[in-house]
Structure formats: C-alpha cells, structure tokens
Chain A
Amino acid sequence: MLSRQTSQRIAFIVISLSALIVVAPILFIVGYIVVQGVGAISWEFLTGFPYNGMKSGGVWPAIVGTLWLTLGTAVVAVPVGVGAAIYLSEYAGDNQLTRAIRIAIINLAGIPSVVYGLFGLGLFVIFLNFGTSILAGSLTLGIMTLPVIISTAEEALRAVPQSFRLVSVSLGGTRWETIRRVVLPQALPGIITGIILGLERAAGETAPILFTVAAFFLPRLPHSIFDQTMALPYHLFVISTQVPGMPVRIQYGTALVLMFFVLSMNVLATLIRRHYRRQRVW
C-alpha cells in the first residue's frame, strides 16, 4: 500500500502532466508560427497586394475579404440566431417542436464544414444565382455559425433568474417588455461572447468559402456584396499548396496574421465575459 501522502503526490504529478499535455501543443503551435512568420510581417505585407505570382507583396486583400466575410456572417447569423434563441428560451414551451428544433441545432453543429460549402454552392451560388460572391459566402458561413450562436445565446438567456421575469410581469410588463428591458440586458454579455466565438470560427474556415466566395487572386478589393473576394484562410491554403516555390516565411506570416485575427477575437470575448461577470448581481 502507498501512503496517503505518496498517492497524493503521484495524483498531483499525473494531473499536472495531463494539463501540460493539453497546453504544450498550443504553446508549440503558436510559438512556431510566431517564430517562422514574424520576419514576414511588415507594413508592406499588411497593406500591400500580392505580386510576382504571390511570392512577393502582402495579404491586404485577404485581410479585407476576411473582414467583409466576418461582418457578413454577423449580419446573417446574429439576428436569426439571437431571435431563435429568444424564441426557444422565452416563448416556446417544452414540446415536440422545440425538442425537434434543438436536435436539429445539435446536428447542424456536427455537419462538416465542407458540406456547408457544397450546400452554399448549390443553394446560393447556383440556385439563387448569387454567383461566387460575398453574399453567398456570408450566407453559407452564417448558416454554419447559427448553431453556436443559438445554443450559447439560449444558455445565456436561461441563466437569467426566472424571478426577474416574474417581477417584471407582476409590475405590468408584457413578455416582450420583460425580455427587452430585463432579460436581454442581463444575457447580453453571454450572447456577445457566443457571437464572437461563432464569428471567430467562421473567420478561420476555408471549406465553406471555397466554392462560394473565395478568389485565388484578385488585383482589386471587392466593391459590393456581389463580388468575389480573397480571404485569409483560403489564401493561406493557396500559397501553401497551389504555388510552387513559395517562401516559407510568407506562408507563416499569413498564418500569423490569421491567427492574430482569430485570437484577438477570442481575447475580446474573454474580456467581455470577465468584465460583466464581475458586475453581475445574481
């Protein structure tokens, strides 16, 4: 038999090791990309167009494209997602229909992103005739992002104590007034966090934009939502696999820009959550 102290020490070491195993690859990946890519970062790289068969120049059109697509995704997914969450949490009872909706949401979240890409191609690009465009890409990414936004927003709404709703209604509030004045403001931090996390995932996806919006190379920025655009994840894919003789520095520089974009959204979400957790009274 091990003494209690020895077994305690062994447990501590094992647990610490598993934590390390989780953290180490993340640190390694981030560190590796930074080390390999930081040399490529320059003003010209961030604000210039690629040239010389993309072996020189910068990633500006891809940055702009990813910003457009992120915004477009938000425009599509936020109203629908938050609306659906409000419906599920505040209006719908627990019945067959809502259970079916919840199962659908869970399954939507499990669909591989390339399938969303094909779906977007079929529905938006071809059937609705939007062509390969920011519109088609945003709709595709938006639909892909819906499950994340719906489930986090619903969770945030449900976390608001039922007693607040009862009080508001007892003071002559309608259901909607109660939602707008009490429930939504309290759930907002959680909802925003969910939105940012959903958008973050959308911003980094390649497969859904592959057939719906992304351009291999464009010598100009998009002018409207009916234009194609370059985008960071697809650009990274292109310069890593489609262009022979690409300098490794530029590949990792591009990865670094994409990672920075996505991580800063993540940090923003964390900060918002922390800020409001501290202010919360319940």
Chain B
Amino acid sequence: MDIKIRIEDFSLHYSDGKESLRHITLDIYANQINVLFGPSGGGKSSLLRALNRLNDLTDVAVQEGRILLDGEDIAAPGYDVIRLRRRVGIVFARPVPLPMSIYRNVTYGLELAGIKDRAQWDAAVERSLKQAALWEEVSDRLDESGYALSGGQQQRLCLARALALQPEVVLLDEPTSGLDPISTSKIERTLQELKSEYTFVAVPHSVQQAARIADWATFFLQGELIEHGDGKTIFTTPQNSQTNEYITGRFG
C-alpha cells in the first residue's frame, strides 16, 4: 500500500488553550478511502483542515509535528499553501455553492489557477460533473444558479468543484450529513468509483457509513488516536475496548 500522507507526531492547540489533537501519528494510503471516525469534538475536522492548511484561517495557536505529502512537509511554515490546496481539495458538511452559476462554480478554482481557456473549462465541467454523478441532471442548465439545485445535488456540485482541479487528495468532512439516503448512496458510490484516481480522507457522519466505505479506519477520541487499522478489522474485531464500545453504540 502506497503512503500518500504521513502524519508524524502531530499536535494542535487552538488559541483558547485547548489541545485538540495530541501526538497523532497516522498514514493515509493512496487510492483508498481513509476514514476518520469517533464522537464529535474528537479532532477529526481539525485534522482534515490541517491536511490542506485551512487551519491557517482559524485561530490555531500552536501546531507541532510534521505532515508529509509525498514526502514534503506541508505543515512547515512558509509552505506554498495555494498550491497545496489545489492538490488537496475539500468538501464540507453543509453544501455551499458559491453565489454564481453551476458552470462557474466548477470553473472557479480553474480561473484562480490561471486557466482561461474556454474549451478547457468546458472539458473540466463535463468531466468533473460526470465524476460527481451530477452531469445528467444539470447538463442542460449549467447557467442556472448553484442554489437552484436540491441539497443532494448541491453537495455533488461541491464535490465536482473540488474534483475540477484534479487534486491528488480529496478531504470529505461529513459530506452527506444533511442528505437523503438516495443522495447519500450516490455520493458513496461515486467515492468507490473514483478511488482509483484519488486518495480520499473522509469523516463519515455515522458508524454505519464509516463501516460501509472504509478501506482504512482510524478512531479518534478527544484528540487522541485510539485505534487504526483496515476497515474490516476495525468494524468487526476492534482491538480497543473504547473503539468497540463506540461502534456497538454503547458509547456514552
């Protein structure tokens, strides 16, 4: 299994003094669905945001350790975060289309990357909307506002928007938490189909979803990594009793 991201002894404090991640060491495997799960407040979102340096926008006080993306320390001060964010995309829990057309939502990142060629845009729009399983529903109304779509479609638009930049890694923070079961399964199927091209790091919104999609799974509890392993083992025969309590629903 190729390692895409190596997280080494990574700790993170917010400026209110709270230690949200404590000495995390974890490998993220290439072309796999790497799942982070555990009760809320465990630090999963904080870790995701560290992987594309979105924490730079929040009031993080101290960050220690290294995060190696293909061997390069992306947590290092002075690292080119703009280029990083093009390589590591993210989809948030709540779908947030930008206040522009469906088409421009998808091309937004390309425009920022300096791509101005209309034909390239057209190709990227079609490719990424197809990848996100949205093309058939919107191909005849690309000029409509992103907000004309249903919630499930909006979230697939957000996925397409991230995919348009052809990132190497896609982070997903509870991407289906507000969606109906049909939209949810569309997105889950999409991830399975795309993992040969991308590396996914996903925080599912439920243990069931975690068990369904995980190739690899890591259990987080209050800022600590409790257990890490392949999905099947973690969700059938976890070694740690806290992991076991959590996945069997006996967790307080």
Contacts and interface: CB of A to CB of B under 8 A. Distances in A.
A, B from the same assembly: yes
B165 A172 contact: yes
Contact of A164 (B89, B98, B158): B98
A182 B98 contact: yes
Nearest to A160: B99
Nearest to A173: B112
Interface of B: 52, 54, 57, 82-83, 85-86, 89-90, 92, 94, 96-99, 108-109, 111-113, 145-147, 158, 161-162, 165
A104 interface: no
A186 B94 CA distance: 20
Contacts of B165: 171-172
Given A168-B108, A170-B52, A172-B113, A163 B96 contact: yes
A1 interface: no
B111 to A, nearest CB: 8
A166 B98 CA distance: 10
A186 B52 CA distance: 26
Contacts of A185: 99
A171 B124 CA distance: 15
Given A169-B54, A169-B85, A171-B85, A186 B90 contact: no
Nearest to A182: B98
Most chain A beta-carbon neighbours within 10 Å: one of B83, B85, B158, B165: B85
B112 A167 contact: no
Contact of B99 (A166, A170, A174, A281): A281
Given A161-B96, A166-B92, 12 more contacts: A163-B96, A167-B98, A168-B108, A170-B54, A170-B89, A171-B86, A171-B112, A171-B165, A182-B98, A280-B99, A281-B97, A281-B147
Contact of B109 (A163, A172, A281): A172
A148 B112 CA distance: 33
Nearest to B158: A167
Contact of A163 (B89, B92, B113): B92
28 contacts: A163-B92, A163-B94, A164-B96, A164-B99, A165-B57, A166-B54, A166-B57, A166-B96, A167-B158, A168-B98, A168-B112, A170-B52, A170-B162, A171-B85, A171-B86, A171-B89, A171-B112, A172-B82, A172-B83, A172-B86, A173-B112, A174-B82, A177-B112, A181-B108, A182-B98, A185-B99, A186-B99, A281-B146
Contacts of A163: 92, 94, 96
Contacts of B112: 168, 171-173, 177, 181
A43 interface: no
Given A174-B82, A281-B147, A282-B99, A169 B92 contact: no
Dominant secondary structure of chain A at its interface with chain B: helix
| Size bracket, chain A contacts | 20 to 34
Contacts of B99: 164, 182, 185-186, 280-282
A164 B96 CA distance: 7
Interface centre among A182, A186, A280, A281 (most CB of B within 10 A): A281
A173 B113 CA distance: 8
Interface string A249-282: 0000000000000000000000000000000111
A184 to B, nearest CB: 12
A171 B54 contact: no
A92 B226 CA distance: 39
Contacts of A170: 52, 54, 85, 89-90, 162
B107 to A, nearest CB: 10
B164 to A, nearest CB: 9
A180 to B, nearest CB: 11
Nearest to B58: A166
B222 to A, nearest CB: 25
Contacts of A280: 99
